[in-house]
Structure 1
Amino acid sequence: MDEEPLPKPRDPLVAQDISRLSEDEIAHRIDQLKAEIARLETALEAKRASRAAAAAAFKF
């Protein structure tokens, strides 16, 4: 029996109604999202470097 994968949970910071947030709350959310983007970019760079190292090790 094949089980379907569970849907990924939604990020509470994405696609949320922001119309009632204050300027400070919006600025704080922007800072949070920028920090998350930086974290993701670092992880992406590490994965790419790992893949490149593996490819170089197995290249003949």
Structure 2
Amino acid sequence: MDEDQVNKPKGHEVGMMIETMSVEELEARIVLLNDEIERLRAAIAARHQTRSAADSVFKF
């Protein structure tokens, strides 16, 4: 097994050491994190829609 494969984390962790990462690796992390932010925003929007639908059903 290649030593680089062993030492590189599979994902990003908040606060992880970035000093040894290349520009390309940092840019890839930014893409990864932006994708995750969009996924989280979509989940929030879906929950707001569910809540609004529930609120409209139970209004008296």
TM class by shorter-chain length?
0.7 to 0.9
Shift of 1:13: 2.5
Seq. identity, %: 38
Cα-to-partner distance string for 1:16-56 (whole Å, 9 max, x where unaligned): 01000000000000000000000000010000100010001
Runs of 4+ in structure 1 deviating by more than 4 angstroms, as ranges, are none
Counterpart AA for 2:23? E
Q: Give me the TM-score of the superposition, normalised by structure 1.
A: 0.78
Counterpart position of 2:56: 56
Indicate the structure with greater helix content: 2
The 1-side partners of 2:46 and 2:33 are apart by 20
Gaps of 5+ in 2: 1-10
Change (3 A) 1:25 1:12: closer
Gaps of 5+ in 1: 1-10
SS in 2 for 1:44: helix
The 2-side partners of 1:13 and 1:37 are apart by 14
Shift of 1:12: 4.0
Alpha-carbon RMSD: 1.3
The 1-side partners of 2:28 and 2:13 are apart by 11
